[in-house]
Structure 1
């Protein structure tokens, strides 16, 4: 049986999670009082302008979402603390599976909440945005540990800088369509899909985000996880 191309599968998984980020950021900004759930740079900018009283921008939502994202990243970092950033991108272990599964479960639970509760007050919007931000913080930390080049899954500013200032400057083969361009395009498409689906019902884009994460978990656990080879015990060795 042909072995899967692990680096390419890892890349595809991170692209899928980048799409998820675009979807939930659209949900957060358009449906949860202008709060970014994955793009924390946007939240910091909104928070700064909100504190200045500009255009009645929210303060509580971005501030709490920042805290949620940080908490999620901290929790994932603690779980993966003995795994150095920059380890081979094709490796995947049970802890990665568990962390992303927890994130998928939270997104699925929020999908159910969105179905049950038709209208959200401001405080409930903040709670939901913060829960999604915590999932994104956890996801970002997992992506950092998996270390797929140019795939942070949550931000594309540095990716765009690298694309324009490095890839295009060199003029190398594949300078137009490559993983950096793909990351930017995919987060755009995720935001596009999230905004379109949000017009139908908030539960739909949240469900899509949960489903996308589940697909990544299954793919990673079955095809990228490091298999431990069982060593024969001493008695079995002697008998042979």
Structure 2
């Protein structure tokens, strides 16, 4: 008699979530490079930095804009609110499907941002559209990544907690963690995205880095699994 092979877990098909979230760190670096360097010193992924910049702008510091920062913050919060609704709708079902839906929506939003950048680069209306679309996409994503709950990758746009854990729980600290490679990879991915964005923007404007970000999110939407 032969024993039938156990059915394969459909959640395991595709690229594991750790790798997917690390790739999203690179996308975040690209997005913040575009917003800070190309849209007037505003962050649309890193809201910690954006809140500080909003304070600078409110104090009248030259080079910063209250309307830009407020638009980014409002769009991010709206995206997070919608993301919470999406998480409530899909969170109880297939993790793989949930992840892919969110990444597909992000890819569409970033592709729309790229189209706006190519069509109206430099126009005031285009700047606000880019800030709004990218910040909304990052809020939507962050709300769902937080609900996914992958350790050390519960936020893909800010790494203060990750950096703290990397150092404090390493051999230099209390030596209590075995997640140093994951944490280091997350930091490296964000920096790599920022470097790539900073290199692309002077030569190609914001459109190309946004198109790259949309392409990465789109590919991840096709290949992400539901397993850590």
Q: Which TM class, normalised by the smaller chain length?
A: 0.7 to 0.9
Corresponding residue for residue 57 of structure 1 = 64
User: Residues 29-178 of structure 1 correspond to what in structure 2 (within 5 A)?
Assistant: 29-81=36-88, 92-117=95-120, 119-151=121-153, 152-168=155-171, 169-171=173-175, 178=181
Separation of aligned partners in 1, 2:166 and 2:196: 24
Q: Are residues 55 and 80 of structure 1, via their aligned partners in 2, closer, same or farther at CA, if it must alter by over 3 Å?
A: same
Deviations 1:108-156 (A, max 9, x none): 1221222222x32234212211110000011111211111111111110
Q: Are residues 108 and 41 of structure 1, via their aligned partners in 2, closer, same or farther at CA, if it must alter by over 3 Å?
A: same
- The match for 2:188 among 185, 188, 212 is 185
Separation of aligned partners in 1, 2:16 and 2:152: 15
Separation of aligned partners in 2, 1:7 and 1:165: 33
Separation of aligned partners in 1, 2:174 and 2:63: 45
Native 8 Å contact 1:140 1:153 kept in 2:
yes
- The match for 2:30 among 7, 23, 29 is 23
Q: CA deviation at 1:81?
A: 2.0
Separation of aligned partners in 2, 1:203 and 1:8: 28
- The match for 2:208 among 204, 214, 229 is 204
Q: Are residues 173 and 156 of structure 1, via their aligned partners in 2, closer, same or farther at CA, if it must alter by over 3 Å?
A: closer
Stretches of structure 1 that go unaligned for 5 or more consecutive residues are 226-240
Q: CA deviation at 1:83?
A: 6.8
Deviations 1:166-219 (A, max 9, x none): 2341346867x5111111111001000011111222221001100110121111
Native 8 Å contact 2:32 2:46 kept in 1:
yes
Separation of aligned partners in 2, 1:165 and 1:215: 35
Separation of aligned partners in 2, 1:180 and 1:224: 20
Corresponding residue for residue 219 of structure 1 = 223
Q: Are residues 124 and 57 of structure 1, via their aligned partners in 2, closer, same or farther at CA, if it must alter by over 3 Å?
A: same
Native 8 Å contact 1:46 1:62 kept in 2:
yes
More deviation, 73-82/11-20: 73-82
**Number of residue pairs matched?**
217
Native 8 Å contact 1:33 1:122 kept in 2:
no
Q: CA deviation at 1:95?
A: 3.5
TM-score (norm 1): 0.81
Separation of aligned partners in 2, 1:69 and 1:172: 35
Q: Are residues 207 and 82 of structure 1, via their aligned partners in 2, closer, same or farther at CA, if it must alter by over 3 Å?
A: closer
